[in-house]
Amino acid sequence: MFRRVQADHLALRVAWPDAPGMAPREVLLHALRLAVIQRIWLLGTEIPEFSPRHGVTRQGLEAALLRLEVPAALDLLGQIFPSGADAGADEDYGEPPSPRVAGSYRREHAEIIVPMRALFAIVREISVAVSHEVGSFG
């Protein structure tokens, strides 16, 4: 795909040498934005498997991230992987607890959800900078 786009671009430059181009700052902003979006997508691959709940599957969440529906996907991830400990973990059920430590999904929050939220905020900031750069703000 890239080769076809590159070939089209080169053919356009031959046919229209004075075709307008992007300023270096604009190219840099777009490149940074794409790099941050790619990092969000890579973090999306780290989402652990889970049973379908809340009307969504892991594949559905990945598709939402590819469409950059990041806030909605993160809200669902927060419900699927709650950061707090299970409320029933401290209850006495009249039997010894399992050797497994009942806990929360702190790792998922620290390594996936929180960084993804911060990266999406950066994507939005870069998008505003692009708007300012091309003069389409205000």
19 versus 72: the higher-pLDDT residue is 72
- How buried is 82 (Cβ within 10 angstroms: 0-12 exposed, 13-18 middle, 19+ buried)? middle
Give domain status of residue 60, yes or no: yes
Q: How confident is the model at residue 53 (pLDDT cuts 50, 70, 90)?
A: confident
Q: Mean pLDDT across the chain, nearest whole number?
A: 89
**Tokens at 33, concatenated:** 């934005």
Structural domain contains residue 67: yes
Evaluate whether residue 63 is within a structural domain: yes
Query: Is 88 inside any structural domain?
Result: no
Lowest-pLDDT range, 39-48, 52-61, 107-116?
Answer: 52-61
Interatomic CA distance for residues 8 and 105, integer angstroms: 48
> Is residue 137 situated within a structural domain?
yes
State the average pLDDT over residues 5-9: 92
Domain of 112 in residue numbering reads as: 30-83+102-138
Residue 131 domain-assigned?
yes
The DSSP output letter for 18 is T
Q: Which two tokens stand for residue 118?
A: 């911060």
pLDDT score recorded for residue 131: 94
Helix (H, G, I), strand (E, B) or coil at 56: strand
Query: 76-113, pLDDT tens digit by residue?
Result: 999 999 987 665 555 666 777 666 555 679 999 999 99
Is 75 inside a domain boundary?
Answer: yes
Q: Model confidence over 20-35: pLDDT tens digits?
A: 888 999 999 999 999 9
More confident residue, 1 or 111: 111
Q: Based on the structure, what is the number of domains in the chain?
A: 1
What's the rounded mean pLDDT across residues 134-138?
A: 81
User: Cα–Cα distances in Å, from 54 out to 60, 73, 105?
Assistant: 11, 11, 17
3-state DSSP assignment of residue 30: helix
DSSP 65-104: HHTT-HHHHHHHHHHHS-SSPPGGGGS--SSPPPSSPP--
To the nearest whole percent, how much of the chain has pLDDT over 70?
A: 88
Task: Assess if residue 9 is contained within a domain.
Answer: no
Residues of the chain above pLDDT 90, percent: 69
Nearest to 77 by CA among 121, 107, 103: 107
The dihedral sign for the CA sequence 119, 127, 75, 66 = negative
Amino acid at 112: I
